[in-house]
Every structure is written in C-alpha cells, then in structure tokens.
Structure 1
Amino acid sequence: MSTSSRRAVLGAALAGAATAAVGLPATTAHAASWQLKWQPSASGDGLGAFETVEDDRADSHPAGHPHIFATGNNWRFNMHTVDRDTSTDRQRQEVTGLRNGSGSDYLKWNQGQTWRLTYSMYIPSSLKATTTFTHIMQMKQPGSGTSPIVTQSLRRVNGKQTIELNLATDGIIVGRADLDPLHDNWTDVDFQIKVGNGTAGSVRWILKSGGATVIDVSKTGVDTFLADRVRPKWGIYRSLGDTSGSLQDTYLLLTNLRGYQQV
C-alpha cells in the first residue's frame, strides 16, 4: 500500500473513532451530569468547610479539646470514653453541611434534587461496631431533635462487626458489609441521594477498598425527606448502651471530600 493510501485509511479510522465518541455509552453520559459543587481542602479550609461544628457541645471533656480538627490533608474526629453529649447516654463529635468559602454560603439539599458525596475514610481498629448505634455519617433535617433520615453505621450483627447503610425513616437496611477488612485501611465512599418525600426518594451506596468494590447497593421508591431540607453529617455519634465492650478511645479520619449535584 502506498504512503498516500495508508494516510487515507488512517484518516478514515480516526474520523470513525471521533464519530463513535460522540455517542457515549449511557453510563458515561450519566456520570457527566454530575456537577462539582463542593471541593474543600483540610489544609486550606479546615473546619470552615462545614456549615456547623459540634465539638463537645456539652463541654464534658475540656482537656480533650479540640476533638475535631484538620491535620495535614485530613479531618480528624477524636472520641474519648469520657466524652458526653447533651443527652448523657450518648457521645457526639460531628460536623454538618457543605460550606463554600468562609462566609455564610452553604449548599442546601432541597426536595426533588439529587446529590452525591465522595470521600475517603480511615476507620482504625479501635473504632468498633457496637450493639447499639454508632453512626459515622448521617443525613438529617437541620434542627435539634430531628430524626435521622439515612445513617452509615457500625453495627454488631450476631456478634459480627459490620458497616451498614440504613434508611432510618423507612426502617430499611439498604446494604451491609464486613467491617473487619476495612479496619486500619482507607475506604472510598460514594453516596448518592435523591431527596424525595414518601416514595419519591432513592439512594445508592458504594464502598471500595484497595481498588476493589466492597459493596454497591441502591434503593428506590423510599422516603428521604422530612421537612425543610436534607443536611449531611460526618463524625462519630454513638450510644453508650453497647453490651459488647467495644467502646474505647478512638478516632475517624476523612479526606478528599467532594459534593456533586445532578443537573
């Protein structure tokens, strides 16, 4: 084949590839609809990345302050066995919301919207699953006394340590995975929620560790809205009613927090 003929064939092949790229697979096209809305840096934004910070709000352990802080590229949540929340049967060190910049601008998750959070978490072996609640992420309506809508929790099931996603409003366990392999490792979280009342909501929960998918589950036709708006929370929120002897001084690390809205 002559040089000019080879160039003609190559040109036709490239043109065909370009044409094929226009018709992207549905999964790629869907992924492209996520618009990045929140990209804080622990080293740059610190606790200013969040709408509110609930650091020992009962002032139960001044010697342990701060319990929540930025260290390098991570946000760290310390929990001591002596820490108490304003309700003394539980412990809470949490942050809430997605703040953009240093002012009062924060993202509001409203009914009918679809949002996505991705981040990495480090769960040390000292942060154990318990027989009662230990939440490390929640979706809630802002305001005191409101019930959780969705929780990512560490729970003992028949003596086994697990991590689960629970639709608290409907009382549905979306999925559950073994916690032991995740201890002392970084785990990537991908959480998606359509904010909907009654049966108009949906969620998807993906965990990956070491490049392998641990769990990928979803649930549609569920209630993910109470009133006002939905606001995410991270940290350690746990009951003191555990009967497995699993409560000890511990911590949680988060990094690479990202927030996306589907458009």
Structure 2
Amino acid sequence: MNMIKNSSSNHLGINAPSRNHANDDLLLSRSSIFLLFLSSLAAQGESPAELQREIVLNPDPHSEETAYAQIRKSFGKKSIESPDLFAGNHQNFTHIQIRDDHEAGGCFDFFLHRDLDGDRNKEWPLGKSRQRNEIKGYGGSDEGLKATEGQVTRYTWLFRVNEGMTLTQKFCHFFQLKAVGGNDIATPLFTISGSRSGERDQLELRLQTSDHASWQRIPVCDWKVCQNQWLSCEIIVRFHEEGYLRARIESRDGSISFMKEFPEIDTWREGSEFVRSKWGIYRSLEDRESILQKEDVVSFSQFRIQEWSKLSSVPSLKRQE
C-alpha cells in the first residue's frame, strides 16, 4: 500500500522516511497520489498537464498485504519473477520480503541463493546458467510501465546492496530497460550492474553501442563503497533512435555522487512495442566460485515511474529540448 507521511527529500525528489507511524497517517491509492502530486504542481504554478502519468510503489511493512500482493497491485499480477513462483525452482522460500528499515522506511528485500535458485522455469544450455529474482513491467501492466517511442520517462528508486555480496567476471544486473517486440529484444538497452572489470569490482552503467554489437561500460563507483548503504537512483529517458538518457546515483553520506548524460543516444529498437523496466537481481552463474555467499540480499524502496510531456518539463532536468 502507498503511504504519504511528513517527510524530507533529497534533491532527486526521493523521500526520506518519517519514523512517525501514528494512526492519522494518510493511506492513499495510486490514483490519489497522482492527483495530490498534480495539485502540488498547480500550486507551484506549473502545468499539471506536463505530468502525463505516474506509478508509485512504496512498500508498507504495516500492511496485512504481502510483498507480492503490494507489488502486483502497482505492477500487475504477472510482474514478479521470483524463484518460488515457478515449478522446478526453489519454492520453499519467499524470495521477496517486506520489512521496516530504520533509514528507508518500508523496503523490499530481494533474496538469491547461489546453489538453489534458477531463472524462472527456464533450463539454460551449458555455459549460460543464470538466476533471477526480479519485478517488471509487462504487457498486462499499467500503461505507465510501458514506455513507447518518443515518450519521456523518469524512474526513481532507492536500493541497497548488503555487505558481503561479491561479483564475478560475468553480469549481475540490478536495473534493466528492455525492449518488447521486434527482433532485438535479447539484450537490454541499459542496465545498472555490478561486475568485475580487470582487477576492480565496481557498480557500473551498461549501454549498448550504436551498432548493438557490444557494451559500453561506465564505472559508477568501487563496489565496496556502494555496499551496505542506500543509494538514490534517477534515470531520465527519451525513447527514440536519437534519444536522451541521464543517470544519477547518489549516496546519502556524499561518498557517491555520480551523474552521466547521453544527449544523443539510441534508446529505441526498431519494431518494438514498448520498453519495460525491471528491478531486482539477475546474474550469471558461470563464474560461480566467485560468488562467496550462499545467500545474497539486495533491498529496494520508493519506486516512482513518471511519464512527462517533454524533457524540459521534468523538474530535476535543467535542460531545454
């Protein structure tokens, strides 16, 4: 359930939680939050029409609803790809759990078990084994989770990698933008990932090159620096063959302050129906010996997906089209 409280916010516009859980906390539906947000814009003299649509998912640890129920309410009934939901996978453990965090408030903990979890009910061929615990937009989701050509979308959320999680030479994605439909759907357009580059373990951005043949990998920070602290993430995209993307990732203590802008980048795939977003843990098992812990946890909170009429309408983006 979505909850509005008295709160402060950082300059990414992501709320820091209030610790007051009094009975007069206001519980609102997603549509009510959207209307409240539009009213706030109008009060500030901004045109409400510039914000076209908004999806909000704030985990509520005080609700009687499970984590899965809360996710499905905002993202759709088939939006969860956790191992326990698929036959032949690790079904005797709930892989997304909800809790009250002393910094972020309500959050979802995403679990992966190195030796027990797989990728849905899929059998990967030798040399391509992997495992997944993700939530996503899909064809049955609200239109706000399906970005179409020319659309401007702003994604914000918090995430935290627990201490002790190790990386490999292969991929480990925490956020993905993927095309749906057309002939170029296997590889994400963009990811936030953890990987080993040479001798360095790092949090990084990955973008497909213009010929879609390889990855451009951009370091965000050293892996140890980003562990065990909440990171604020903001991704702004205009989906087009001559599109735009800006990524900002920051820690609350200031040890991480990353921003990278791509003013003319291909963010659309020919023949696509829409682009969907995915959050969680999706990683290769081909370098299994480098995954030292049997259980890893990554936490997420305060998801917000906004569709704007144009780039210059996005409040956090000081840029003219």
Q: Aligning the two structures, in what range does the TM-score lie when normalised by the shorter sequence?
A: 0.7 to 0.9
Q: Which residue of 2 aligns with 1:153?
A: 193
Distance in 2, matches of 1:137 and 1:168, equals 15
Q: Which residue of 2 aligns with 1:214?
A: 257
Q: Report the TM-score when normalising by structure 2.
A: 0.64
With over 3 angstroms needed to count, the CA separation of the structure-2 counterparts of 1:191 and 1:79, relative to structure 1, is: same
Q: Which of 183, 189, 201 in structure 1 is aligned with 2:243?
A: 201
Matched, 1:68 2:96: yes
SS at match of 2:290: coil
Q: Which of 274, 277, 302 in structure 2 is aligned with 1:256?
A: 302
Say if 1:98 and 1:106, in contact at 8 Å, map to a contact too. Answer: no
Q: Deviations over 1:116-171 (max 9, x none)?
A: 11111111123333210000000012379632111110011122111111113542
Q: Which of 43, 46, 55 in structure 2 is aligned with 1:38?
A: 55
Distance in 1, matches of 2:289 and 2:199, equals 8
Say if 2:166 and 2:290, in contact at 8 Å, map to a contact too. Answer: no
Q: Report the TM-score when normalising by structure 1.
A: 0.77
Q: Quick check: 235-244 or 78-87, which moved more?
A: 235-244
With over 3 angstroms needed to count, the CA separation of the structure-2 counterparts of 1:211 and 1:33, relative to structure 1, is: farther
**What RMSD in Å do the two structures reach over aligned CA positions?**
2.9
With over 3 angstroms needed to count, the CA separation of the structure-2 counterparts of 1:241 and 1:104, relative to structure 1, is: closer
How many aligned residue pairs are there?
229
Q: CA deviation at 1:114?
A: 1.1
Distance in 2, matches of 1:230 and 1:118, equals 16
With over 3 angstroms needed to count, the CA separation of the structure-2 counterparts of 1:136 and 1:220, relative to structure 1, is: same
Matched, 1:105 2:148: no
Distance in 2, matches of 1:58 and 1:219, equals 41
Radius of gyration: which is bigger?
1
With over 3 angstroms needed to count, the CA separation of the structure-2 counterparts of 1:117 and 1:104, relative to structure 1, is: closer
Q: Deviations over 1:31-50 (max 9, x none)?
A: x9656612222126622222
Q: Which residue of 1 aligns with 2:22?
A: none
SS at match of 2:259: strand
Q: CA deviation at 1:54?
A: 0.6
Q: Deviations over 1:239-260 (max 9, x none)?
A: 0012661353101111111112
Q: Which residue of 2 aligns with 1:240?
A: 285
Matches within 5 A, 1:117-196: 117-142=155-180, 146-168=186-208, 170=210, 171-196=215-240
Distance in 2, matches of 1:174 and 1:204, equals 13
Matched, 1:84 2:118: yes
SS at match of 1:181: helix
SS at match of 1:75: strand
Matched, 1:50 2:75: yes
With over 3 angstroms needed to count, the CA separation of the structure-2 counterparts of 1:87 and 1:220, relative to structure 1, is: farther
Q: Which residue of 2 aligns with 1:24?
A: none
With over 3 angstroms needed to count, the CA separation of the structure-2 counterparts of 1:177 and 1:33, relative to structure 1, is: farther
Q: Which residue of 2 aligns with 1:3?
A: none
SS at match of 1:127: coil
SS at match of 1:180: helix
Say if 2:178 and 2:185, in contact at 8 Å, map to a contact too. Answer: no
- Identity, % of aligned pairs? 26
Read off the aligned partner of 1:159 and give its amino acid letter.
E
SS at match of 2:159: strand
With over 3 angstroms needed to count, the CA separation of the structure-2 counterparts of 1:164 and 1:104, relative to structure 1, is: closer
With over 3 angstroms needed to count, the CA separation of the structure-2 counterparts of 1:148 and 1:205, relative to structure 1, is: same
SS at match of 1:46: helix
With over 3 angstroms needed to count, the CA separation of the structure-2 counterparts of 1:236 and 1:205, relative to structure 1, is: same
Please list every run of 5 or more consecutive structure 1 residues that lacks an aligned counterpart in the other structure.
Answer: 1-28
